[in-house]
Amino acid sequence: MDQFVLESGYAALNKHGEMLCGDHREILCGEGRTTAVLSDGLGSGVKANILATLTSKMLATLLRKHVPIDEAIETVADTLPMCRERRLAYATFTALELEDGIAYLAQYDNPRAILLRGGKSVDYPARVRYVAEKEISESRIPLQEGDVIVLMTDGVTNAGVGKASPHGWPRAEVAKLLEAVWTPDASAQYLAATVAGAAHALALDAPDDDITVLAFRYRARRAVSMMIGPPEHESDDDRVLRQFFAKEGAHVVCGGTTATLVAGYLGRELVTQIETQTAEAPAIASIEGVDLVTEGVITLRQVVENAERLLENGMSVLELHGRQDGPARLSRLLFEQATDLSIFFGTAVNPAHDALDIDFQSKLALVKQLAELLEQMGKRVKLSLC
């Protein structure tokens, strides 16, 4: 099952006027399993944040340790109090576990998760039972390649009440939006941010509750190889380029000198696409046989900045989709399409960098920073010096 990966995307928007989100998500991965819990604390602010955090962390940890779901729920229920007046638990939750291609869902009082298959919302079997006085809906879903599962808190389905949508945003309408924006390449992050952004708009940009969306896409792994800089010794050029192009998947070339070297090796023309140049980003280029050709250090610095923003705020992915410059295209490829990245880092000295005050160590540090950020996104990254 290693040929498939459960890609995740997360977007959260706080209740208007609140510094802290009253929802929390916990995702634990490893040993061929993914365990995720999305929890919504009753109310908002600090109290809701603490209760949602405790619920999601406790439940995910217990499930990760193979504690039966009944026992795990009872442990959480015994730990968190019940609102005496409203007889409501202080935190709702949706738990998802994936192992060997089977998704297990346990849902309590959150909007029912949406399953997209082939871009269409489909129903899935569920069994309802009571655990610690809680009505739990359980499902086991054999996943197919391309399936998307979207979890959400009621800040989504209640969005717009009394405002743009007097009766809120029904789950069926959320599913219609997902169907409308879905494509085979649409990332989990893009889908999560799109739903959260629409809910925020329905609330007239001043939501009365925290809005949180957690999306998962069961997809095949996709490899990307990226060459940054020529090899240290010119005599190694052909050998390194043979290794580079022998890699499966997409191929990316960063830097003008590297692009010239690759074009010569392939016997193809290097064409600059001047219309992609902006005030902040140099133009990209094209070489037949190469998926993306960008400028070097300036572009990579912007990609690192984009990665930092995305890890801090999942909504920033929407801004990347509105641009066609080199940093945005490379960011989308690395953040949303790649699952495995091989970086060929050439150590040849580039005289053109002298005027830009760029030395080998600072360039290598930049690439290492990018690799670390991509690993935080769940990518498998291999960096090789040549």
pLDDT digit string, tens, across residues 281-328: 999 999 999 999 999 999 999 999 999 999 999 999 999 998 999 999
As a whole number of angstroms, the longest Cα–Cα distance in the chain is 78
Domain boundaries, the chain: 4-220, 223-385
User: Is 135:210 a contact under the CB 8 Å cutoff?
Assistant: no
Fold of 4-220: Phosphatase 2c; domain 1 (3.60.40)
Which is nearest to 250 in space by CA: 341, 336, 318? Answer: 341
* Tens-digit pLDDT string for the chain (386 aa): 478 999 999 999 999 999 999 999 999 998 889 999 999 988 778 888 988 999 999 999 999 999 999 999 989 887 776 655 555 557 899 999 999 999 999 999 999 999 999 999 999 999 999 987 889 999 999 999 999 999 999 999 999 998 888 889 999 999 999 999 999 999 999 999 999 999 999 999 999 999 999 999 999 999 999 999 999 999 999 999 999 999 999 999 999 999 999 999 999 999 999 999 999 999 999 999 999 999 999 999 999 999 999 999 999 999 999 899 999 999 999 999 999 999 999 998 766 555 556 677 889 999 999 999 999 999 999 999 99
Residue 183's contacts (CB-CB under 8 Å, 6 or more residues apart) are 119
How much helix, strand and coil, in percent to the nearest 5, is found in the chain? 35, 30, 35
